[in-house]
Homo-oligomer: A and B are copies of this chain.
Amino acid sequence: MNQAQTGAPMRLGVCYYPEHWPESMWADDAARMKALGITQVRIAEFAWSRIEPQPGQYDWGWLDRAVKVLGDAGLQVVMCTPTATPPKWLIDQHPDILAVGADGRPRRFGSRRHYDFSSPSWFEASQGICTAVAQRYGQHPAVAFWQVDNEYGCHHTVVSYSPAAAQRFRLWLQARYGDIATLNEAWGTVFWSMEYRSFAEIDPPIETVTEAHPSHRLDYRRFASDELVRYNRMQVDIVRAHSPGRPVAHNFMQMFNEFDHYKVAADLDVASWDSYPLGALEEMWFAPQIKARWLRTGHPDFAAFNHDLYRGMSRLPFWVMEQQPGPVNWAPWNPAPLPGMVRLWSWEALAHGAGCVSYFRWRQAPFAQEQMHAGLHTPDNQPDLAAHEAEQTAAEIAVVQATGLDGAVRPRVALLFDYEAKWLFEIHPQGADFHYPRFAFGYYSALRSLGFDVDIIPTDAPLDGYSLIVVPPLPVLPQGLAQRLAHSGAHVVIGPRTGSKTVNVQIPQHLPPGPLAEVMPLRVWRVESLRPNVTEVVDASALNLPQLNALHWRDLIEADAAVEILGRYADGHPALLRHGKLHYCASIFDEAGTRDVLAHIAQSAGLAPQRLTDTIRISQRGGLVYVFNYDTAAYDIQGVDAAAFVVGAATVAPQGVAIYRQAAPSQ
């Protein structure tokens, strides 16, 4: 492990919209892309109205010429299917394409993603346009890579409550449960007389007087996710049929959890994602002071989390399909990245294993919704800061790849991440701020602050090779996972509420932690959620740790005598427990507490946790170590020989990057 591998690609790309600009500019654009060191060019993902301006009448001329210009310049084209933006004539022909909101009203044309995954008209129309594009460019020599659709689910478009969705949901339920009695039993519809006599009686779970049944709601979310999986697979199959041998990707979104990305990625060759560290900071759960602190850099662990997540679900090296190059337009506030950040983010992606970082977009568009979204060039076609930073990155990539040390990322620490957990806690929170992604990110950030590379993995991933596995609150433990964790050889840290639900959203027969109790004999006999202005303190002196602050939640636990109590609340209830290598946290600890607990357990696991400041992050890929400085001050790397530096030096400037050769194999 941690030995260098060679041959992994490190490429740069860009998103390009020839249809937005005069054809006379294309050749110059292509030449300058090449000159900057860009090799991949994504096109056409929103171009349906230009490809098929009238129903059934295709206009390939402009796109043929655009592809030729790019190919002639030595660039590789990432061709897209344009299904994220069905044109107006199609919507007018088939109004049932429009998804229906939770308010029971159909959405309208005029932005994007105005479609319903369950609409038969839409499915057919999508097959048509995908086939047309794939046939046209599937064998084109300049086309090296595909992207299907664009940002599935963006703007809350995974779930629709249309009649078509309702009809397909009933079929989905029938397939899952077989007969209605089984469903009634599985859900527990006897409660509140919600029993159904047939699948035909079941509607989408909206506009109810008070909350709808949680099993009903979770199944609707699963169904919606499966509809998306089916739709994606249709597109992938069409592209593969007409363009064999070329990787097919989709560009996922950052910390977006409304469908099961593992399932969609299983049908792709490449999981790519769109990285907007500043926009994300504004839009996510972070407190105002955190948003101000990382205003122009983004949170140091946010892009990294997504890199590690998508790396794991990608068969080939993952991509950053869209990289923020400057201010964006879509967050409530849109500050500019500090000089150097675009380079830093690019190297951060590569250090986490990215095969390509593709900037969004070549040139800022002067019109429409995203006219305030920066690009590598300003609308008047002058290079913006990001163009220079991309160019520098391209040059540095050549240096790094020349070392032959640009191998794989091989973490010894894993974090389990599960999409259904997010939906379940959202549907059935019990505490209004029990926010799964926030908690998972909290554990991740603590691990990164200890200097660890991290794999983010699904519940069915192999667990061997890890020394430390962190399981954020995982309500439904799949069959066998508890045993696999116990026998993985790793130290395991498990969050509260784990094993608290069956797959049908019931409380397990012998109470939480459900199947986990087979390997860690606990009984969670009571739980309580805590409002934000309440903190419980935990005495962790058994571990020589300072007092921990517990937030959000308490599992009250009866533990078998064989289980060690490592920490207790003031009222004596266990707060942190150990059984063999398994550790159970009965609450969410605050940032410092999480870090202290994980550092202690990592040490026990034979790892060597560091104590990085919150502005310094370290990654290892192949035989190289990457240091990222998010600080406003320079950072001095200690104990590394000056000759070891491949990029930068021991003093890392603010927003700087340093890359050095690993002194010796770490074990």
Contacts and interface: CB of A to CB of B under 8 A. Distances in A.
B209 A114 contact: yes
Nearest to A502: B366
Contacts of A46: 191-193
A216 interface: yes
A104 B107 contact: no
Contacts of A374: 526
A622 interface: no
A367 B188 contact: yes
Contact of A191 (B20, B92, B508): B20
A208 interface: yes
Contacts of A311: none
Interface in A115-137: none
Contacts of A523: 380
Contacts of A300: none
A374 B524 CA distance: 13
A196 to B, nearest CB: 6
Contacts of A289: 533
Interface in A337-391: 364-372, 374, 378-380, 382, 384-385
A329 interface: yes
A210 B113 contact: yes
A195 to B, nearest CB: 4
Does more than half of chain A's interface fall in helix, strand or loop, or is it mixed?
Answer: loop
Contact of A215 (B206, B367, B370): B367
Contact of A87 (B47, B195, B335, B531): B195
B432 A333 contact: yes
A85 B157 contact: no
A50 interface: yes
Contacts of A210: 111-113, 154-155, 369
A214 interface: yes
A19 B213 contact: no
Contact of A432 (B208, B332, B528): B332
Contacts of A369: 191-192, 210-211, 213-214
Nearest to A385: B526
Interface string A189-218: 111111111000101011111111111100
A71 to B, nearest CB: 23
Contacts of A211: 111, 369
Give the one of A86, A192, A370 with max B CB within 10 A: A192
A365 B530 contact: no
Contacts of A188: 20, 365-368, 371
A31 interface: no
Contacts of A291: 531, 533
Contacts of A54: 197
B190 A111 contact: no
A172 interface: no
Given A47-B193, A107-B209, A334-B431, A288 B531 contact: yes
25 contacts: A46-B192, A46-B193, A84-B192, A89-B201, A92-B201, A107-B209, A109-B203, A111-B192, A111-B213, A114-B209, A154-B210, A191-B370, A214-B369, A215-B368, A292-B533, A327-B526, A327-B528, A332-B432, A333-B530, A336-B526, A366-B507, A366-B509, A367-B504, A371-B505, A380-B511
Given A46-B193, A110-B213, A382-B525, 7 more contacts: A50-B193, A92-B201, A110-B194, A110-B212, A111-B208, A111-B209, A191-B367
The 8 closest A-B pairs by CB, nearest first: A188-B367, A191-B368, A49-B193, A85-B193, A366-B507, A332-B432, A155-B210, A111-B208
Interface of A: 19-20, 46-50, 53-54, 82, 84-89, 92, 99, 103-114, 154-157, 187-197, 201, 203, 205-216, 282, 288-289, 291-292, 295, 326-327, 329, 332-336, 364-372, 374, 378-380, 382, 384-385, 428, 430-432, 504-511, 523, 525-531, 533-534, 554, 556
